[in-house]
Amino acid sequence: MKLRSGDITQFNYAGREFDIKTGSNVTYRLSGITIENEPTGNGGRHATGTVKLAGVDAMPISIDPEKKDYEFFQGKADGEDYPVNFTMINGITYSGSMAIEGDLDANTGDGQAEVSFMGPELEQI
């Protein structure tokens, strides 16, 4: 049986590689359309489509103060898309172009920052 889940073994953002905390659970989504269905008055269905961005939520990045990892991400929190890719333990890699989304907070207790990204595309390569 092939692996279907597990750790992220490699993560790169804006041309720089970062360590990811093992045992983490990261949510990712492809771009496309979100469909919402509602009933019509005569018992039919009315579907509405909304375009959605691709994203990666709460990537648990190990922050190395000596490499100024936190400062690197803060400097990239400028609304611009940068190349992003990550490889899962099963060898599958996703790649796209994304901007940092939301707050950037580093934690001293576990030495990491959970960074979220949004962009026009994320695809399996």
pLDDT tens-digit map of 57-96: 999 999 999 999 999 999 999 999 999 999 999 999 999 9
Check: CB of residue 29 under 8 Å from CB of residue 101.
no
Please write the tens of the pLDDT for every residue from 15-51: 999 999 888 889 999 999 999 999 999 999 999 999 9
CA atoms within 13 A on the CB side of 7: 8
Any idea which residue has 């890719």 for tokens? 85
* Residue 12 β-bridge partners: 17, 85
SS3 75: helix
CATH of the domain at 69: 2.40.30
Q: So what's the pLDDT on residue 5?
A: 77
Domain count, the chain: 1
Residue 22 lies in a domain: yes
* Residue 61 β-bridge partners: 20, 113
Tell me how far apart the alpha carbons of residues 89 and 39 are, in angstroms, rounded to a whole number.
Answer: 42
Q: How far is CA 41 from CA 35, 47, 48, 49, in A?
A: 19, 14, 16, 20
Residue 64 lies in a domain: yes
Distance of CA 16 to the CA centre of its chain: 15
Residue 24 lies in a domain: yes
Distance of CA 103 to the CA centre of its chain: 14
Residue 18 lies in a domain: yes
Residue 2 lies in a domain: no
Residue 1 lies in a domain: no
Q: So what's the pLDDT on residue 23?
A: 84
- Domain span including residue 42: 8-124
Residue 3 lies in a domain: no
Residue 119 lies in a domain: yes
